[in-house]
Structure 1
Amino acid sequence: MTIGRPADVLVIGAGPAGMLAADRLAQDGVNVILVDAGRHHTRRICPVDRMKSCHGCRGICNVISGVGGSIHYGDGVKLSRFPSGRRLAELLGPARADRLSDAALDRMCGADRPAFRGALTGGTPFQVKDYPVASLSSAQVRTLVDQLYMSLASSPRVTIRLGVEVTALRPDDRHGFTACLASAHGVETITARRVITAVGRRGQRWWAQQIRNLELDHTLPTPSVGLRFEAPIGLLRRGALIHDDFKTTLVRAGVKVKTFCFCAGPGGGRLKFTDYGDHTLLDGHVIPEAGESATGNFALLAQLRDEAGQPRDARWIEKHLLTPYRSLREDRPGKPVLQWYPDWRTKQLTCTTLDGFAERAGHRPSLTDYGVANLAGILPGSVHTAMRTVFEELMPSFAGRPLSKYDAARIAVIGLELESLWDELALTPHMETSLPGLYAAGDCSGLAQGILQAAVAGIAAAEHAMASVSPTIGDPA
C-alpha cells in the first residue's frame, strides 16, 4: 500500500490503543495508515533517566510520544484488568469487555501472560479499590513492543509513518475524512474512510481543539493537581503488599484526594519527566525487578473545583498553577521541583539544595534534574491541607508503623503533575464519536483508563471500523 492511495482507516497514535487497533484491522485485510509524532521505540531515550537534564527532545518528548506510547520501551509497566476502568466496561458491556481484555492480553503477551492478583483483605483501615493487577518487567516490555512493532511493520496492509503530526482533520463527503500530515519532509494530504484517534498526552492540546472544530459531543473534565511522594522503598513496601496499585479515595478539607500510580515494586519505582514545551510534568513507572537501596513513589491527586463545586477550567489551571509553577525555577522555568517533606508540610523552605536534601534525608532522590523550591506555596490552601492530611493518614498503612519525624525527614515531595485534562466524549459502545466514522480510544476518549483498557478500546474501535469499511466482516458482539 502506498501513501498516495486512500486508506481504509487512519490510526493516529502508536500507543497501546493505536497499535492494537492497527493490528486488529490488518488481520482482517483492512488497509491502515498508522501515524505518530514520535520516534521508533528503540530511539525513545530519555536523558533524565541517565541522570542528565531534560532538553525536550527537539520538541517531541520521547516519554510521551513514539512507538509504544505509555508502554515506554525498557521500563516496567502495570496492567490492570476490569473493574479497573469501570466506565469503559460499562460502555462496552461486561461480557464484551472481558472478551476484548483477553484478546488484548493474548496479542500483547502471548504465552508469557503475567499473573494478576487483587487486594489483600485487611491490613489497612481504608477502602482499597480491588481489581486484578500485574507488573511487566523491562524485558517483557521490550519483547511486547518489539513483537507488536514487527507484526505491524511486516504487514502489507499497514503503512507506519513516524515523526508525523496530524495538523488538521475534517470530514470529506467523498472519501470519509481528509487529514493533513506534517513531517520533516513537508506537508501532505491524505484521505481515509474511517479514523481512529488514539493520541496520548503528546496530542492532548491538539485533540481538545479538534473536538471543538469538529463539534463533537463532549463534557468538560474535572482536572486534578498531583504531587509525587518519593521515599525509601521500605516506607512504601507494605502498601504494595496490600495491593500492587494501592488506590483509595478520601475527602478532606472539602477536597477529593486519591492515591494514583503506586510505584513500589520489588525494585521500587521510576519517576519520568513528560515535557510539554513550556512546562514539564511527572509520571511514574514501577520496577518489577528486585533492586537494592531503591526508592518508591506514588502520587496524590486532588480534584480542582471552585467554591460552587464546578470543575476548574484550562484558563484557571494556566493562571493559578502552571504560571506559578514556571516561576519556581529561574534556571529552568517549568521543570520539576523537589521540596523536603518537613518544609512542604509547613510551607517553608529551610532546605534549598539537592545536597542539603541528601544530607537531611539520608539518601539522594532517584533523579537529579530538580530545582528545590517552595512547591507547597503554589497549591490552593485547601488542596495543600487535604493532601497533607491524606498523606499522613495513609503512611502508617504504607510503612507498617506510625509516621515518625525521622521517617518524615526521609521523604521528598516532587511536582508538578496534572491529570484528568481530557474532555469526556459521548461515545457509542463501539468507541465511535458523535461524528460517524470517527473513533476515539485510550486517553483521548476521556474515560479513565490504563494500558490494557486503552488496548481494549482500540480493538473495539477497530472491529466496528472494519465492519463498516468491509461489509463482509461482521462486528463481533
Structure 2
Amino acid sequence: MKPATTADVLVIGAGPAGLLAADRLAAQGVNVLLVDAGRHYTRRICPVDRLKSCNGCRGICNVISGIGGSIHYGDGVKLSRFPSGRRLAELLGDERAEHLSDTALDSLCGADRPSFRRALADSTPFTVKDYPVASLSSAQVRTLVDRLYRRLTSTTRVTLRLGAEITDLVPDDRHGFTARLRAHGADETVTARRVIAAVGRRGQRWWAGQIRTLGLDHTLPVPSVGLRFEAPVGLLRRGALVHDDFKTTLVRAGVKVKTFCYCAGPGGGRLKFCDYGDHTLLDGHVIPEAGASPTGNFALLAQLRDETGRPRDAQWIEQRLLKPYRALRDDRPGKPVLQWYPDWRDKTLTCTSLDEFTVRAGHRPSLTDYGVANLAGILPEAVHTAMRAVFEELMPSFAGHAFNEDDAARTAVIGLELESLWDELALTEHLETSLPGLYAAGDCSGLAQGILQAAVAGLAAADHALASAVPATTGGAA
C-alpha cells in the first residue's frame, strides 16, 4: 500500500488565498502540500472566449479551477482595497487589515503596483460604495501569475498537485488531519498538522458538505440571483468614470438590488462562462486596454428572501431557479440564455435568435454560446419588477441621457448568475474555524469576495498556522 503523503500544512485551492498562504508558509520553512483540481495556468483556455461552445473542459472548468483561481491568466482583473470586504477588515482589525493588504500587493505585484482610484462621489445621484480600486491589464496579470508560480515551484518546501481533489477531511488526534486525495482515478491518504481551505467556486458544494460533516459553526447566507446587462460600451461608460467598479444598492418592490462587477472601462468588458457540470453561470471581467471591446456589461443582483424575510435555501434555488434555468434550452440545458431587453422588460419573446438580436440591437453579443429564451419568465415576480426598476433608474446616469427605446433595443439581458451561496463561518481573527487547526480563506469563508481580500485572508491564516505547524525535520510534502 502506498505510504501516506505528509505535510505540515495542507492548502486546498490554488487561487489568490491558497497561493499566498503557501508562499508565506514556505518562506518560513514550512512544508506545504498545495492541491487544486484544475490545470496549469497556461492550459486554462476557455473555448467560449474563442467564440466556440462551452464543453465543460472534461468536468474541470478552466475559468474557475487551476493555478490562479479567479486570477485568470490573460484576462484583466480588478483589485479592490478595504473597505471593500468590510466584514473581513472588521474581523482582522483595520490596522492589521491594511498592513496585510500592503503585504499582499507586494507579493502579487512586486514593484509594479497599480494606481488605485476612488469614486467621484459628486458625479452621480446614487450612493456609490467608495473604496480604492485598480484594474490590471492582461499583460500585468500574466506577469503576476508567472512570478508567483515561479516562486512557489522554485522551493522544495511546496509540493504542488494539480488535477487533484480532496474528497474527505477528518480530524486526527495523531497527525492533526487526515484527508483523502483523488488524482487521475486513484486515491491516496494525506496527513497534515494544519489545513487551510481556500476552495473557490468549483469547491462550493463540496465545502458546504464539509462544513456540515465537520460540524463547523456557521450561519446560512443570503443568496442573490443575478443577470448581466450587456450594451455598447458608450451606454455604460459614465458609470465607470464615477468608479471603476460602480456599486450601489437600491430597494425596489421590497427587494434589495445591487450593481455588481461593473465592466465598462476603457476597453469595455468580457463575459465569462463558469461551468458547474449540470449548469453554467456567468461572471464578468474588466478589459483595461483601451478600445479592446465594443461592449460593456454589469450585473444586477437581487437578494432571495421569502415573504417573512428569511433567506432562500439551497433546495429552493435548485427547484425554483436552476431547474427552470436548465429547461430554457433544449439544445444545451443549463447553458446561458440571452433575451432582448424589450422582451425581458415585457416578459415576452419576439426576438428568438442571436441573428435576429444582432439586427434589432445593431451589434453582436460579445459571446455566441447563447440560446434565446424567456429568461424573465423564471424570475420571481418581485425580483423582475425590482430589477427592471433599478436598471431603468441607473441607465440615464450611465448613458448621460434619458433612457429611451433606442437604448433598450441595444441592450441584452443574459443569465444566469448566482452569488452569496457561501455559508458564513464563525472565524477567529486568524481565520481559524470552530475546529482548531482548520482555516478558511477567500470565498469559502463567507466573509468577503475579491482577489486582494482573498490574498489577505490567506496571509492571515498562514501567519497563525505558522505558530503551530512545526516544520518537518526530514523529508517534505511529497
Question: What TM-score bracket applies, with the shorter chain setting the length?
Answer: over 0.9
- Give the Cα–Cα distance (whole angstroms) in 2 for the partners of residues 202 and 143 of structure 1: 25
The amino acid that maps onto 1:107 is S
Mapped contact 1:10–1:194 kept (Cα < 8 A): yes
* Matched ranges for 1:221-236 at <5 A: 221-236=221-236
Give the secondary-structure state (helix, strand or coil) at the position aligned to 2:123.
coil
Measure the CA separation in 2 of the matches of 1:245 and 1:120.
Answer: 12
Residues 268 and 292 in structure 2, CA contact (< 8 A), matched pair in contact too: no
Does the CA contact (< 8 Å) of 2:119 and 2:243 recur in 1?
yes
Query: Offset at 1:3?
Result: 8.7
Contact 1:123 1:397 in 2 (8 A): no
Q: Is the 8 A contact 1:268 1:294 kept in 2?
A: yes
Aligned to 1:469: 469
Distance in 2 of aligned mates of 1:122 and 1:409: 30
Q: Output one character per residue of 1:182-235: Cα deviation in whole Å (capped at 9) or x when no partner.
A: 010510001000000000001000000000000000000000000000000000
Q: Deviations over 1:96-118 (max 9, x none)?
A: 00000000000000110000010
Q: Residue 282 of structure 1 corresponds to which residue in structure 2?
A: 282
Deviations 1:426-457 (A, max 9, x none): 00000000000000000000012200000000
Give the residue type in structure 1 aligned to 2:232. P
Q: Which runs of 5+ in 2 are unaligned?
A: 472-478
Contact kept? 1:225, 1:417, Cα under 8 Å: yes
Task: Tell me what 1:352 maps to.
Answer: 352
Residue type at the aligned position of 2:51: M
For the aligned residues, what is the CA RMSD?
A: 1.1
Q: Could you say what secondary structure the match of 2:110 adopts? A: helix
Aligned partners of 1:281 and 1:416 also within 8 Å: yes
Please give the TM-score of this superposition, normalised by the length of structure 1: 0.97
CA contact (8 A) 2:339 2:375 kept: yes
Asked whether the 8 Å contact 2:222–2:421 carries over to 1, the reply is yes
For residues 124-139 of structure 1, what are the structure 2 equivalents within 5 Å?
124-139=124-139
What's the CA shift string for 1:21-63, capped at 9, x where partnerless?
A: 0000001000000000000000000000000000000000000
Q: Name the CA distance, whole Å, in 1 between partners of 2:140 and 2:420.
A: 29
Matched, 1:439 2:447: no
Matched residue type, 1:104: A
SS in 2 for 1:122: helix
State the Cα distance separating 1:5 from its structure 2 match. 4.9
Alignment partner, residue 83 of structure 1: 83
2:311 and 2:209 mapped to 1: Cα distance?
A: 19
SS in 2 for 1:6: strand
The equivalences for 1:213-224 within 5 A come to 213-224=213-224
Counterpart in the other structure of 1:171: 171
For residue 293 of structure 1, report the CA deviation from its aligned partner.
Answer: 5.5
Equivalent residue for 1:269?
Answer: 269
Residues 3 and 229 of structure 1: CA distance in aligned 2, closer, same or farther (over 3 Å) = farther
Contact 1:193 1:469 in 2 (8 A): yes
Shift of 1:305: 0.2
Q: Is the 8 A contact 2:321 2:378 kept in 1?
A: yes
User: In the superposition, relative to structure 1, how do residues 138 and 292 fare at CA in structure 2: closer, same or farther (>3 Å)?
Assistant: closer
User: What amino acid is aligned across from residue 213 of structure 1 in structure 2?
Assistant: T
Q: Deviations over 1:45-98 (max 9, x none)?
A: 000000000000000000000000000010000000000000000000000000
Q: Match of 1:254?
A: 254
Distance in 2 of aligned mates of 1:73 and 1:118:
26
**Which residue of structure 2 aligns with residue 475 of structure 1?**
none
Identity %: 81
Q: TM-score, normalised by structure 2?
A: 0.97
Q: What residue is the counterpart of 1:71 in the other structure?
A: 71
